Structure 1
């Protein structure tokens, strides 16, 4: 999963070098653009999937609030037509099509524009760029591909919640809040994995595979942190916005979303510190195990080196009958058991000395 996300970041779409501002260039592998239309107001709501642009243009004025979801960024001509219909700035459209943008919040004369990183698949934590343009009576979202955390928002619209009675800024808030909250299951799942890894580290399970998993998990946490830091800045920009497009009441809700983003960042930083600590502990424990083995081998060697020396001396092939100086001990009646007893006493004495010095 992480490898796929890094590959997607490397392949993020960019305008050609030297291109004029506002140039729209589709990525070669971008998915075809589909339009999903949500009409809200007058005590009712309508949902239309994969509609033609002409239907959007025709029905836009029939409802007080319109949400157009553009899924896929492959059809730049269609995206340009959408931009003209809602009066979106060319620079905003360029940022929407050119993925890999840093999360931010900009305000133009006719609309606000927000770029965020969205988790479109909670189970795997797959991330994509999403852009939102909103005005007094519309919201236009641009997604790279199908999949989003907006289903609770759609259900609230169906139940005729307060979303249906407010403007585009509040609808934009509910969508942004859903994006931010989609990080919580992913971050909490990382916390559960860290707890399991902590148990594995202290139980000394997994070996080399555990080290690899710790590094991969820390890389994933760092990736989420890279997404959340600029997201927090974007939320702060919305709460401080001096624009008639965002009401004072909606700023309070944006501030609540900012609190969620800050909480997520604190959780991620805590998890990253925990992982760093676990990696250091695991390395220290591995070094301690190595030192224990080396100490054990050193002690065994220290005990058996003198015994090997004794056995080597009496194992030399000298004939005591040829000379009285040629190892007369070999003719001792109890020489073999006495030699064994001497070596046992020597080894036991060395062992007792190690215990006395508390080396064992």
Structure 2
């Protein structure tokens, strides 16, 4: 599972050094150029092949998915004049979300949350380069994140084809942010299941499930906080690549990150409450067991006393003045049993009357 764990370069590595990623996803490159009246989509074998197709009159979107060789990325960076430090961060996955302004270019790092086959949280880095008329997106996961946006471009839905590359960046950022809502919905279902399990029959697996969910919510919180800061920077108006019209739409994505943070905090508080309920339930079960053991011990106190008295070995002097008269009775033994049973039944009746049983 991909988390925020950072892969560091060896000490002394020069800034801007590109290190190959460990993604096993095959490289896939798509170039999309579009205007209000034109749309073209091409699959390329090399990102460098996209450069001759770039049209200054159209918006161009280069989507690079999978394992990008460092030399290929470096050549693409040279052709598009991308900053070396930004290229380094593309391959150095594990970065926190951030925004870098390189004069006429923007470099944005985001993380897309998803769930793997086992239901565990997976965080995948998505990098964007924005320049006038050009957007480059790079990510290493196998899932095709941006197919909904491509489909809207193909069908000419809404204002997407009429806007520039900054609006396309907004749509992709919004799509990445919105991936957090299905994850939180899944967490809500897990919380409901944990609550039912705690109220019914909690086990050690219940406690482990709560701690695992709390850890994943912490990761999701660490994801959402810097992403909200990135969107805040885009809204401030300091970035020349973002038009005022696009900033109006970026507010919606910023609100979505705030909603995600609120939901994460709510789920974390819910887990804390469930943990208290779990501990109370375990304590209650322990108290019930201790009460049962106490009742059993209390029952045997008078029985032990009776058995101890009549179990004293004074049978050799049964005719003395201080001898136990019951030792000479024919029915002494069953009488003692009757007394002990009567005491036990009486105490059980008393416990039942006081609702201790």
- TM-score normalised by structure 1 residue count: 0.89
Q: What does residue 108 of structure 1 align with?
A: 102
Q: What does residue 195 of structure 1 align with?
A: 192
Corresponding position: 1:331 with 2:325:
no
Residues 322 and 200 of structure 1, relative CA distance in 2, 3 Å threshold = closer
Name the CA distance, whole Å, in 1 between partners of 2:105 and 2:51.
18
Deviations 1:283-340 (A, max 9, x none): 2101111111111111111111220221132133432555423433111244234323
| Contact in 2 for aligned 1:320/1:328 (Cα 8 Å) | no
Q: What does residue 5 of structure 1 align with?
A: 2
Name the CA distance, whole Å, in 2 between partners of 1:52 and 1:120.
28
How do 1:209-224 residues align onto structure 2 when only pairs under 5 Å count? 209-224=205-220
Q: What does residue 296 of structure 2 align with?
A: 300
Name the CA distance, whole Å, in 1 between partners of 2:97 and 2:22.
23
What is the Cα-based RMSD across aligned positions, in Å?
Answer: 2.4
Corresponding position: 1:169 with 2:166:
yes
Name the CA distance, whole Å, in 2 between partners of 1:356 and 1:322.
42
Corresponding position: 1:57 with 2:54:
no
Deviations 1:81-133 (A, max 9, x none): 21122221222112112111110112111211110111366764422111111
Q: Secondary structure at the match of 1:185?
A: helix
Residues 25 and 306 of structure 1, relative CA distance in 2, 3 Å threshold = same
Equivalent of residue 152 in structure 2, options 153, 156, 161: 156
Equivalent of residue 81 in structure 1, options 75, 82, 85: 75
Give the drift of 1:344: 3.4
Number of equivalent positions = 353
Deviations 1:36-61 (A, max 9, x none): 21111151212222433453111112
Equivalent of residue 14 in structure 1, options 4, 8, 11: 8
- More deviation, 174-183/14-23: 14-23
Equivalent of residue 89 in structure 2, options 82, 95, 109: 95
- TM-score normalised by structure 2 residue count: 0.90
What are the ranges of 5 or more consecutive residues in structure 1 without an aligned counterpart? none
Q: Secondary structure at the match of 1:187?
A: helix
Name the CA distance, whole Å, in 2 between partners of 1:355 and 1:155.
71
